[in-house]
Chains A and B, each alone.
Chain A
């Protein structure tokens, strides 16, 4: 864009939003230059703070007219670089669009703006005995808009599913500024499931401005069991046994010794420090049913011979157990100056094999890996610990991260269960899918957004760009577009 046009574009944004809500220049924009994948930074042209859906529409239309790329940003907690700014593009900060417009206890729905923080939906539903089910560990900060873009999950997604299973209707600003409504307020629909297509599209199909969520009745009771094992494999076998028993727990999580150590140091959850594998299984639901199921669960778990078992004695005890698990990501920060949170999926029955191989790969690279995972659905979160100040460690850590993703593909799984492809995993998408599959996705993207303005450069492997991992800097780094710190 010629400098004169660039100035006109900024003028137009400023006329629409006022000077206070159009940020330019290094200092005001610094906080927006990266997300939770901090290895990458990029400088946008401007950050705009929108207050209403109408403003989102107008900003998108201005961007479309000037062919300036843009992306929505929630709380910037993406772990895959999904909310990394597009160089010279516009960041549309959605945090002020944070009203809960309606909670309807009869329909059991909430209509919210996208900047609403995940946990506040459950807080608003609480007086009606309802809650919003998907519970990412980041739920006290991340937004519904961000959750939607990545189809985010959490520990309690085994029974009732991820974000996508809880989004009923959307108002969307398409990348050319056209506004559409899809879905509605019923659990049922007619015609192709366009809401299902939009959820998980990582911001590439435009910006959601109004979201109808499904609420569930709060479970009457919980039965939370902690079981400690001498080996990670034994904990994994216990999960298989629970599945085979016909029980359907609300959550089944495993942590390894390093993760236990980190969580204990951070929040003192009362985990046994000597355990090689710690299993958390939680039943949820109505009292009589949970009582009947808990007997079976105890029987099944005892057969797997844990050396220690503990049933949460009251709601506080339960909260403590979960606090340890949910703080695990940030807690490993105590063990290591830097770490990469990896996210991949393997078939549940191959968890043991996957963990052994991850261990072996880590040893080969001389890098420690802590493991926390949603065992019930085979979703691994290896935490790769490294020291970025040591020459070559970042590269080795990224190489290891890549090998873990290939392992997931080889075992018949997926390169991401919930954190999305974003910036980080673009070239692995091409390893998981064939060219024809990617081509179909690309054609859908181009039909919806011919100019590739919405979150440009994310998700699709860039044909001319060499691998993102390892061997020297990323091509965008070479071009001076992004940098690592």
Chain B
């Protein structure tokens, strides 16, 4: 079956569509085209499967159909003073619940309490045989059965089509502000980040952004308004250099731009790479070796991940980047990339291949979703 995408409005129709297709890939908001534009694939457009089905603020849980725009979920939560602590990306761009889970990517705020994997409680999905499967439970704690929700995080539509997801949510900090030190050398910035991170002050976000004049260290602190100034001062004392402070709307706008990739050129490919403070240097070396030291990039969430904007004019060098990452045992996910890269959304080093192969065999024996 090929041709125009179908737009199912229920899990049962998704199941029927999957059973009738040879190669099928779900699309949520379509904000990560590199992840679903696989050649020859029949595209299942999930935008009609939309809406919040249950929101219980006192339970800290929200359930939504997979095609629900995250913007809608965030707005509902905000009205009750709650939020998705994994800090989803590309919300304004139209990212959906299912797309976010399948991409498994998190924003800078994941530093504080954890990533999407830590906040996904239950899923319903259609597997590769067209069966509707439920995993997890709609309560904040559960240890019954295999943790299928976690398996779906990062599955890129290759293990099942998500139809409904339940998240744990938390109360939003009363207010937030950000300290910024501009124009640092990278090792100096990493060292300062470590110093503040090891201190007592609890941090919402800690990013290093590559700019024209070096690296900007940005530290966001949130909590009770009454205590915020004292805490900012405490963190600033640890930095022991000139800091500027962003607060209120400026603070919110700054982090919104970060997670919407407003800092990346619109035609650049955007890659996400898991890292640690100890491996940031290895990525810098890879970029230097490829003569790419000037690309826009951010070391985010306490230097646990990098976002790299690979320029459109260097698309032909993506295979070289792939090779260099493999050699240094680094991995990248193309959140946005040219369609020709779509058959290979994951670049660099891979682990767990044998286990993944067995799981794929179980959930999608005929390979209807393609293989990762």
- A447: chain B residues at CB < 8 Å are 358-359, 361-362
Closest Cβ of chain B to A303, distance in Å, is 16
- A3: chain B residues at CB < 8 Å are none
Give the segment of B1-9, B107-115, B212-220, B255-263 that binds chain A: B107-115
- B58: chain A residues at CB < 8 Å are 240, 243-244, 348-349
Task: Using A248-B170, A291-B227, A377-B141 as known contacts, say yes or no to A188 and B275 having CB atoms under 8 A apart.
Answer: yes
Q: Contact at A164–B359, with CB atoms within 8 Å?
A: no
Q: Contact at A151–B143, with CB atoms within 8 Å?
A: yes
Q: Contact at A174–B154, with CB atoms within 8 Å?
A: no
Q: Contact at A190–B142, with CB atoms within 8 Å?
A: no
- B198: chain A residues at CB < 8 Å are 105, 129, 217
Q: Contact at B355–A347, with CB atoms within 8 Å?
A: no
Task: Using A192-B151, A348-B59 as known contacts, say yes or no to A437 and B134 having CB atoms under 8 A apart.
Answer: yes
Q: Can you list, as one digit per residue, whether each of A224-260 has a CB less than 8 Å from chain B (1) or not (0)?
A: 0000000000000000100110111000000000000
- B146: chain A residues at CB < 8 Å are 197, 200-201, 441, 444-445
Q: In the complex, what distance in Å separates the CA atom of A246 from the CA atom of B234? A: 24
B243 within 8 A of A: no
Q: Can you list, as one digit per residue, whether each of B118-144 has a CB less than 8 Å from chain A (1) or not (0)?
A: 100000000100011111011111111
Q: Can you list, as one digit per residue, whether each of A148-181 has a CB less than 8 Å from chain B (1) or not (0)?
A: 0011010001011110110000001010001011
Q: Contact at A345–B151, with CB atoms within 8 Å?
A: no
Task: Give which listed residue, A153, A194, A240, A292, contacts B141 with CB less than 8 A.
Answer: A153
B150 within 8 A of A: yes
- A345: chain B residues at CB < 8 Å are 137, 139, 141-142
Q: Contact at A446–B362, with CB atoms within 8 Å?
A: yes
Task: Using A189-B154, A196-B153 as known contacts, say yes or no to A413 and B274 having CB atoms under 8 A apart.
Answer: no
Q: Which of A165, A190, A447 counts the most B-chain CB atoms under 10 A from its CB? A: A190
Task: Give which listed residue, B117, B200, B279, contacts A193 with CB less than 8 A.
Answer: B117
Q: Can you list, as one digit per residue, whether each of A414-428 has a CB less than 8 Å from chain B (1) or not (0)?
A: 111111110001000
Task: Using A180-B355, A248-B170, A345-B142 as known contacts, say yes or no to A186 and B147 having CB atoms under 8 A apart.
Answer: no
Give the segment of B25-33, B180-188, B345-353 that binds chain A: B345-353
- A433: chain B residues at CB < 8 Å are 134, 144-145
Q: In the complex, what distance in Å separates the CA atom of A417 from the CA atom of B153? A: 21
Q: Contact at B363–A444, with CB atoms within 8 Å?
A: yes
Task: Using A196-B150, A437-B145 as known contacts, say yes or no to A185 and B104 having CB atoms under 8 A apart.
Answer: no
Near A by CB (< 8 A), chain B positions 272-299 give: 272-279
Q: Which of A151, A185, A195, A443 counts the most B-chain CB atoms under 10 A from its CB? A: A443
Q: In the complex, what distance in Å separates the CA atom of A201 from the CA atom of B272? A: 29
Number of interface residues of B (CB under 8 A): 90
Q: Contact at B59–A347, with CB atoms within 8 Å?
A: yes
Q: Which of B143, B231, B333 counts the most A-chain CB atoms under 10 A from its CB? A: B143
- B171: chain A residues at CB < 8 Å are 246-248
Number of A-B contacts (CB under 8 A): 278
Closest Cβ of chain B to A471, distance in Å, is 24
Q: Contact at A440–B139, with CB atoms within 8 Å?
A: no
Q: In the complex, what distance in Å separates the CA atom of A462 from the CA atom of B367? A: 30
Q: In the complex, what distance in Å separates the CA atom of A415 from the CA atom of B139? A: 11
Q: In the complex, what distance in Å separates the CA atom of A150 from the CA atom of B143? A: 7
Q: Contact at A421–B355, with CB atoms within 8 Å?
A: no
Q: How large is the interface on A (under 10, 10 to 19, 20 to 34, 35 or more residues)?
A: 35 or more
Task: Give which listed residue, A188, A420, A437, contacts B304 with CB less than 8 A.
Answer: A188
Q: Contact at A378–B139, with CB atoms within 8 Å?
A: yes
Q: Contact at A286–B201, with CB atoms within 8 Å?
A: yes
B174 within 8 A of A: yes
- B197: chain A residues at CB < 8 Å are 217
Q: Contact at B140–A414, with CB atoms within 8 Å?
A: no
Closest Cβ of chain A to B236, distance in Å, is 14
Closest Cβ of chain A to B334, distance in Å, is 10
Q: Contact at B139–A191, with CB atoms within 8 Å?
A: no
- A39: chain B residues at CB < 8 Å are none
Task: Give which listed residue, B59, B149, B230, B332, contacts A349 with CB less than 8 A.
Answer: B59
B223 within 8 A of A: yes
Closest Cβ of chain A to B223, distance in Å, is 5
Q: Residue on B with the closest CB to A157?
A: B141
Q: Can you list, as one digit per residue, whether each of A400-443 has a CB less than 8 Å from chain B (1) or not (0)?
A: 00000000000011111111110001000100111011111101
| Complex A-B: 11 CB contacts under 8 Å | A190-B333, A194-B355, A196-B150, A199-B147, A220-B200, A243-B60, A292-B226, A293-B224, A345-B142, A421-B144, A425-B144
**A interface residues, Cβ below 8 angstroms from B:** 104-107, 129, 150-151, 153, 157, 159-162, 164-165, 172, 174, 178, 180-201, 205, 217, 220, 240, 243-244, 246-248, 285-289, 291-293, 296, 345-349, 374, 377-379, 412-421, 425, 429, 432-434, 436-441, 443-448, 459
**B interface residues, Cβ below 8 angstroms from A:** 56-61, 81, 104, 106, 110-111, 113-115, 117-118, 127, 131-135, 137-156, 158-159, 170-172, 174, 194, 197-198, 200-202, 223-224, 226-227, 230-231, 234, 272-279, 301-302, 304-305, 331-333, 346, 350-356, 358-359, 361-363, 372
